[in-house]
Structure 1
Amino acid sequence: MSCQGCVGAVQRVLGKMDGVESFDIDLKEQKVTVKGNVQPEAVLQTVSKTGKKTSFWEAEAPADPEGKPAETVAVA
């Protein structure tokens, strides 16, 4: 992701994805953290439909206080 247009595209696809409770987009780090009842591979595939290069973030994302895991996807 290199601009707000890229961020908007990722927001649109994640906003429509079933099971996504929330997501955080960090343009500077080029990563997206998704929380909800979703499969990591499904998130990766959905975000890749924006035409951006995607991969899982190498560091494991911590669980939130409610015990729900968070998946972090790097989007370039």
Structure 2
Amino acid sequence: MENEYKYKVKMTCSGCSGAVNRVLSRLPQVHNIDIDMENQIVTVKTTLSKEEIFQVISKTGKETTQL
């Protein structure tokens, strides 16, 4: 079952959003990634759990909060 999760991720530049996009796009279970730099919101459609995606984003070193 596919779920949609949202995270607040502190991103200050395109390099930050690129890092988040890179780690998420490597996961075959992630079907869609939307990064809103203005509001610093990352929306992910995936079959993984909310916590699994949170852990992946956190590995980038960006301050991340589950919404």
Q: Which residue of 2 aligns with 1:74?
A: none
Partner residue of 1:54?
Answer: 64
Structure 2: distance between partners of 1:40 and 1:46: 10
Q: What is the number of residues matched between the two proteins?
A: 57
- Taking the aligned partners of 2:52 and 2:22, their CA distance within structure 1 comes to 15
Contact 1:18 1:38 in 2 (8 A): no
- Stretches of structure 1 that go unaligned for 5 or more consecutive residues are 58-76
Counterpart residue number, 1:68: none
Distance 1:42 1:17 in 2: 11
Whose radius of gyration is greater, 1 or 2? Answer: 1
SS at match of 2:54: helix
Aligned residues with identical type, % of pairs: 47
Relative contact order higher in (CA < 8 Å, ≥ 6 apart): 2
Runs of 4 or more, structure 1, over 3 Å off, are none
Q: Answer whether contact 1:9 1:50 (CA < 8 A) is retained.
A: yes
Larger proportion of strand? 2
Kindly report the root-mean-square deviation, in angstroms, between the aligned alpha carbons of the 2 structures: 0.8
Counterpart residue type for residue 29 of structure 2: G
Q: Deviation of residue 39 (structure 1)?
A: 0.6
